[in-house]
Structures are given as C-alpha cells and as structure tokens.
Amino acid sequence: MDFQTLADIQQSISTGSLSVRELVDFYLANIEKGQALNLFVEVFAEEAKAKAAEIDQKIAEGTAGKLAGLVIGIKDVICYQGHGLTAGSRMLSGFESLFTATALERLLAEDAIVIGRQNCDEFAMGSSNETSVYGPSSHPTFPEHVPGGSSGASAAAVKAGMCHASLGSDTGGSVRQPASFCDVVGFKPTYGRISRWGLIAYASSFDQIGPITRSVEDAALLLEIMAGPDGKDQTAAQAPVQAYANQLQAERPLRFLYLKEAWDSPGLDPEIAQKGQEIFQQLQAAGHEVKGVDFPLLEQMVPCYYILTTAEASSNLSRYDGIHYGHRAETPQALAEIYTHSRSEGFGAEVQKRIMLGTFVLSTGYFDAYYAQAQKVRRMIQEQTQALFEAGDIILTPTAPTPAFRQGEKTTDPIAMYLGDIFTVHANLAGMPAISLPLGTHSSGLPFGLQLMGNLFEESLLFQASGILSAAR
C-alpha cells in the first residue's frame, strides 16, 4: 500500500478493496518491522484497531468524517487525553495528558486515527533526533544517518509507511528540516494559524504545530481542519479559514523570489545549489517570474534565533522543578537541593545547555546586550521580509544546507548543528508560513528539499506554488 494522498485511500475504501481496519493492521505491521529505527515511543495498537472498526461502520452508514481512513502519528510533545506525554525527557517520565490539544481534537472529530506517539529531541530541542531520553531515531532508508529534528521520527514514520501523516511541531524548522531529510512534505503555518493549546512549549512566540504528509494536497486539508480561532489560546489568529484543499491550482503566473545570500552560501551543498538553478529555469520556462533578491540579514538569523528561543525556553521550562510536577530527585532533603537535583537529573545535556544560555541572556547586565538586541534584529527581519513580498509572491530557499548527516557527526560540534537551521529559522522569526517539498536526490542517494515561504496568512498561494514546484520534480 503506497498511497500518496488521503483521497487515494478513501477511493480504495469506497470501492471495497480496503477497510480502515486493514489499513491500521498494515501500519502496525510496518511499525513492528521497523522497531530498530526507534520512531515510536508508544503504539496505541488495540485502541487504533477498535477505532478503525468504528469508522468502518460509520463509512458503511454514510456518517464518517472528512478524515475517515487517515492514520496519523503524533510527536511526543502534543497532548492526547489519557495517553502518555514525555517530550522525550526523563523529566516527564510517567506523565499522562489530562486533555487533548485543540489541533488534534479537530482531527479526531473528523475521524482521524492516532496510531501512536513518536520519538523526538528532548523538549523539541535538537536538529537530529539524537537528544531523546529514548535514544536516537534513525533515517527510514539510510539508518546510519539522522532523520532530522526535532520532529525527525514523525517524518521518518511517514516515509517508512508506519502512518499516512504525522503531527509535529516547528520552532525553527523542526517540521521542515526532517521533511527535507526524509523525502516528505513538511508544513509550518503562519504563527497563530493553528492553536498552540496542548503543545508543550519550547519558545512560545515561535512554536507552531504543523503536518508532515506525503502530498501537498493532504497538508492543505489538514491545515483547513486544524486552523482557526481557539478560546483556549489567545495567540490563535481570528483570520477566517479558507478551503485550502480546494484552492491548489494557481490562477495566474506567480512571482518567485530567491535569496541570493542563501543560494550563494558557502555552506550550501553544491548539488542542492545546482538543483535550485534548474528549478528556477523550469519556473521561468513555464511563464513564472523568477528574480534574485538581497537579504543581508541571513547571517544574523541563527544567533538571533538561539538567543530568543533559549530565553523563552528558560522561562517556559522553569515550571519543571520537582515540586509542581516533573521528575523529583529522591535523595535531597532541603528545598534548594530538590530543585537543583531534580532538574539536573530530569533534563538532558542539550536542554540544560539551552536553559543556561537563556538564563544568561536574560540576566541583569546582559539583557540589553543580548536579548534586547536580538528582539530589535527580529523586528528588522520581519520588516525586511514583509517588504520582499511587495515584489514577489513566494520566497525560495534551500530547506537545509545539506542532506541528512551521519549519526554522531555533529553532536560534539553544536555550532555546526545550529547552523543547519540557517534557512528554516527565517520563517519562524518572521512568523511566515513555509513548506519543504521533496524535490531532489543527492549523488549519495540521500533526498533533500526546497523551501517555499509565503506572506502572512497566504497559505493558499503557498500551496499553489507548491503544486507548481512538485510538478517540476
């Protein structure tokens, strides 16, 4: 079963050649065969089978929802009532969600089935899926390589046929970079387009839930269902939700912009750069406008991003203290010792490093020099990005500088690891929607993606452009 879209699945179900229960059994069998990849931390096998039987009955009665036949996995940072939730950390070992995230709740209301929760970098802090307390996840077709992070296992599971789609979270590229590495579609909406209620916070002004799918069509459909206002999240946008899945055809030639600094970056793999040039030529031949533009703030993005996100992480993760909830050390007796020992034992090295960095940039004497300056740079990035859309519809960049790297290759070099986010953090800093499409294969055999970024709340145009580029693959 190699279905590219949910529509393909539903067509097979409608003809009687497939049942939802058979589909669930197929995915469960693939999960069992791929255990060595370490993609799932918990599989809801019996629950998924029972739900499948229920939906088969609803299909027979003509009462099934829009997503009947969709089997999804959820990253281990998304709440699902009555199910475990650990964010890949010892800190939340044994914790169980008391409610369901709004985005997931809306999918379940349309008869999606959750097959399990997926491994991730601890508290979504990582670019390789190597910092989880459950151990690293592996690339679905090149197991010695990483699947990307922090939603690496979610992307790998879609590619490996363990579910049809996954829900991940994207703070600085954590949906798009793994999608590029694993040869699938990864989408981050405009900030506020999808409610963050029920998503464990890393950096609240950056985080967004996003789908990982096998097609642009399915990404558009899932956004259509998950998007919209939410009284539980005051940052959720009030902008009306469009019928994205019905607006996939461009009605006019589009204006594509590419960032010169990105495509000329010395860290960019030459084969990815060459593929970009081929894409530009194909777009022009098809009647679209393609123009290079300058964006001199590219080198400031990664330091700006890591100053701001670590500052927010320092604040958000302060609640995990061994007193209110989270892991509590057993030996210490004094209150201060409970705090320090519980956090030292509960958090892994990468999370501790980011908390310490965030605390430093927020501290007296350094706040103005680091945090305040980074906020000013973020505003400049937002304004200059907004200005670009006066001359174009879509911005094109690589998704990542290279294809998937080998496991352990960058764990001792945090700067090299962080620079892997150089192209994806742009959309999070600016709050813009962005998508990674699987558009190339390296001479090594590893896939890589191309990133498209659109203007605020112009997801429809972004999906239309994605359809044009997918056809050019």
Residues with catalytic roles: 75, 150, 174
Check if the beta carbon of residue 181 is closer than 8 Å to that of residue 400: yes
Check if the beta carbon of residue 115 is closer than 8 Å to that of residue 31: yes
**Which helix (H) or strand (E) is 51 found in, with range?**
helix 45-61
> Omega of the bond prior to 150 within 30 degrees of 0, cis?
yes
Which distant-in-sequence residues (6+ apart) come within 8 Å of 457 by Cβ? Answer: 190, 193, 237, 239, 433
Check if the beta carbon of residue 243 is closer than 8 Å to that of residue 224: yes
Q: Which of 323, 315, 313, 363 is nearest to 343 (CA)?
A: 323
Q: Between β-strands 40-43 and 71-75, what pairing exists: parallel, antiparallel or unpaired?
A: unpaired
Neighbours of 354 (CB within 10 A): 25
Which distant-in-sequence residues (6+ apart) come within 8 Å of 452 by Cβ? Answer: 394, 395, 396, 434, 435, 437, 462, 465, 466, 469
In whole angstroms, give the CA distance from residue 147 to residue 140.
Answer: 7
3-state helix, strand, coil in the chain (%, to 5): 40, 15, 40
Q: Buried b vs exposed e over 213-249: b needs ≥16 C-beta within 10 Å?
A: bbbbbbbbbbbbbbbbebeebeebbeeebbebbebbe
In whole angstroms, give the CA distance from residue 115 to residue 20.
Answer: 12
Check if the beta carbon of residue 159 is closer than 8 Å to that of residue 66: no
